[in-house]
């Protein structure tokens, strides 16, 4: 493709994307394709000869787009949202053009410096404790995902624990190594039973044990200080070494917010336990001051992560990780062969983000964040959060109007409504009918929502954070869910 062909194709792609968004509401939210459909229409081998853009685009339109799930659609009510926005798309476009994997500052100073600046802006706007700002010992770094943020911090926590809590007790290198080897198999990470599975996966990767602490409906499924204290004590009695905790600000199933201040208190005699906040979805709400009270106690935490790519108008990927002490990451991840050394790095005056993450190379993700921050401003971002929250509350109220058909399972938070369909016949359980309703809705493909269990009870989760969502679309979604539920209760 020569530059003029690119110009033509890129202009046409903008028309395509604008038309896509203009028709998003009319599109069927999930695709009709069957598993393996693409193999049947694409060749078995890659093309030997260059092909024309028109041909490529034709096939994209005929074969790829029909296999897409439309996450931006107001009819997409599943999992959590994965926002995009026009300024964010533009950021990706430019970033792809520069393709500057800025692992060291010198690789592209603007890439590194913009990242530090936008993450500081975001931390201040979210009201994060000042320890997470880059001007003292902490700072932010963009990771690909909340899962990556957990693995990264867990590995740093493991190394810090082995160094500070184990090796430091012994005078000789040999003794240190023996003690570290003995401790490795005893390390244990904690979460609640509501925490996202990312922490369990991180424990697998880091080679440590993992304990999920039970939560209860009377605590709104939040992890409490006493529950953590008990779990730590029990683990220690078994000879385990607690070194890491993930607490959540908005769990996946029910958007529970753990009791950060209590958790900090429960660990005050355990300075080596790394406390991480997973605010992957709910953290976006902190852009509005009325939600910042949720941060009470986070000043005692070691790290905090929020995905702008869920609810804050930036497309995947943009997971914003903050740490209290950047040295903890650098100590764990800095490996510097001669070919990565340079004057700027050696001066100590610059950030080399390769030392704050698992991969070496990295994308220019700060650009799309900067574009979004500037194009929306704080006001626009707050409007987006408040508007979509309002739509979530509108849906929840509609559900409440039909207490004869639905029961709300957990207190609605961050726009998420979790409910069950009530049985109408003897012998039928709420679990049976709720599952039947969810399955039928997803099979009919009018809406897309998630069925999940809370405390063993089958529930339907409905949430929208799409900039394209409206009260009207949510009312229509409710009427459809009600119709299906009533029909299923009759059959
Ligand atoms: N944490 C929570 C609370 C989530 O809900 C999710 C995904 O929905 C994740 C972590 C994982 O996010 P990611 O896909 O960025 O790894």
Does ligand 1 have an atom closer than 6 angstroms to the CB of 198? Answer: yes
Tell me, in angstroms, the distance from the centre of ligand 1 to residue 347's CA. Answer: 37
Take residue 1 and report the two structure tokens written for it.
């493709």
Which distant-in-sequence residues (6+ apart) come within 8 Å of 300 by Cβ? 260, 261, 264, 267, 268, 275
From the CA of 383, how far away is ligand 1's center (Å)? 23
Among the four given CATH numbers 3.40.50.2300, 1.10.10.60, 3.40.640.10, 2.70.98.40, the one describing domain 101-363:
3.40.640.10
C-beta 158 within 6 A of ligand 1? no
Reported in sequence order, the residue ranges of 49-133 that DSSP labels E, i.e. its strands, are none
Query: Is there a contact between 245 and 191 (Cβ–Cβ < 8 Å)?
Result: yes
Query: 188 by DSSP, 3-state: which?
Result: strand
If one counts every other C-beta atom within 10 angstroms of the C-beta of residue 304, the result is 31
Encoding tokens for residue 489? Answer: 């209760």
* Domain boundaries of the chain, sorted by first residue: 101-363
Q: CB of 152 closer than 6 A to ligand 1?
A: no
- CA of 345 relative to ligand 1 center, distance in Å: 33
Phi-psi region of 415 (alpha: psi -120 to 50; beta: other; left: phi over 0): left
Determine the Cα–Cα distance for residues 321 and 152; give it in Å rounded to an integer.
10
State the sign of the Cα–Cα–Cα–Cα dihedral 263, 267, 271, 273.
negative
Q: What is d(CA 208, CA 223) in angstroms, rounded to the nearest whole number?
A: 21
Centre of ligand 1 to C-alpha 198, Å, is: 7
Cβ–ligand 1 contact at 145 (below 6 Å): yes
Token pair belonging to 118: 């936008």
Q: Reduced to 3 states, what is the DSSP secondary structure of residue 30?
A: coil
Nearest atom within ligand 1 for CA of residue 251: 3
Q: Is 70 in the pocket of ligand 1 (CB under 6 A)?
A: no
Residue written as tokens 């604008």? Answer: 18
Sheet holding 139-143, edge to edge: 139-143, 319-323, 303-307, 274-278, 241-248, 187-192, 209-213
* Residue closest to 329 by CA, chosen among 281, 276, 283, 279: 276
Per-residue tens of pLDDT for the chain, all 491 residues: 999 999 999 999 999 999 999 999 999 999 999 999 999 999 999 999 999 999 999 999 999 999 999 999 999 999 999 999 999 999 999 999 999 899 999 999 999 999 999 999 999 999 999 999 999 899 999 999 999 999 999 999 999 999 999 999 999 999 999 999 999 999 999 999 999 999 999 999 999 999 999 999 999 999 999 999 999 999 999 999 999 999 999 999 999 999 999 999 999 999 999 999 999 999 999 999 999 999 999 999 999 999 999 999 999 999 999 999 999 999 999 887 777 778 877 777 889 999 999 999 999 999 999 999 999 999 999 999 999 999 999 999 999 999 999 999 987 899 999 999 999 988 899 999 999 999 999 999 999 999 999 989 999 999 999 999 999 999 999 999 999 999 999 98
């Amino acid at each position: 493709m020569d530059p003029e062909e690119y110009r033509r194709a890129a202009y046409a792609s903008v028309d395509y994307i604008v038309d896509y968004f203009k028709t998003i509401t009319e599109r069927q939210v999930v695709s009709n394709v069957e598993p393996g459909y693409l193999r049947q229409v694409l060749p078995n081998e890659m093309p030997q000869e260059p092909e024309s853009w028109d041909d490529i685009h034709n096939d994209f339109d005929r074969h790829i787009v029909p296999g897409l799930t439309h996450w931006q659609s107001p009819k997409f009510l599943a999992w959590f949202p994965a926002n995009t926005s026009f300024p964010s798309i533009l950021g990706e476009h430019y970033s792809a053009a520069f393709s500057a994997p800025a692992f060291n500052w010198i690789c592209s100073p603007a890439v590194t410096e913009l990242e530090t600046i936008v993450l500081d802006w975001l931390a201040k706007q979210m009201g994060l404790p000042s320890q997470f700002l880059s001007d003292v010992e902490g700072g932010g770094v963009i990771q690909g995902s909340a899962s990556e943020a957990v693995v990264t911090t867990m590995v740093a926590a493991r190394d810090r624990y082995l160094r500070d809590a184990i090796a430091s007790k012994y005078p000789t290198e040999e003794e240190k190594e023996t003690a570290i080897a003995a401790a490795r198999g005893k390390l244990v990470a904690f979460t609640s039973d509501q925490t996202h599975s990312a922490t369990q996966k991180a424990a697998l990767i880091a080679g440590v044990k993992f304990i999920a602490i039970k939560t209860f409906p009377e605590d709104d499924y939040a992890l409490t200080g006493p529950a953590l204290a008990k779990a730590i004590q029990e683990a220690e009695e078994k000879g385990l070494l607690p070194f890491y905790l993930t607490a959540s600000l908005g769990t996946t199933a029910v958007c529970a917010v753990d009791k950060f201040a209590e958790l900090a208190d429960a660990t005050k005699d355990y300075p080596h336990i790394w406390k991480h906040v997973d605010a992957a979805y709910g953290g976006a709400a902190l852009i509005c001051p009325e939600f910042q009270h949720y941060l009470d106690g986070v000043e005692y935490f070691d790290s905090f992560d929020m995905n702008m790519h869920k609810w804050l108008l930036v497309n995947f990927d943009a997971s914003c990780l903050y740490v209290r002490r950047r040295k903890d990451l650098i100590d764990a991840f800095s490996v510097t062969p001669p070919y990565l050394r340079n004057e700027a790095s050696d001066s100590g005056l610059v950030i080399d983000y390769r030392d704050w993450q698992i991969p070496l190379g990295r994308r220019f993700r700060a650009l799309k964040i900067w574009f979004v921050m500037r194009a929306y401003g704080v006001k626009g971002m707050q409007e987006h959060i408040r508007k979509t929250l309002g739509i979530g509350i509108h849906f929840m109220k509609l559900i409440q109007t039909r207490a004869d058909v639905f029961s709300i399972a957990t207190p609605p938070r961050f726009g998420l409504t979790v409910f069950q369909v009530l049985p109408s016949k003897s012998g039928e359980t709420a679990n049976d009918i709720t599952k039947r309703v969810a399955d039928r809705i997803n099979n009919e493909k009018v809406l897309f929502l998630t069925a999940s269990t809370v405390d063993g009870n089958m529930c339907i989760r409905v949430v929208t954070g799409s900039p394209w969502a409206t009260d009207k679309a949510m009312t229509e979604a409710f009427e459809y869910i009600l119709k299906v539920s009533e029909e299923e209760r009759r059959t």
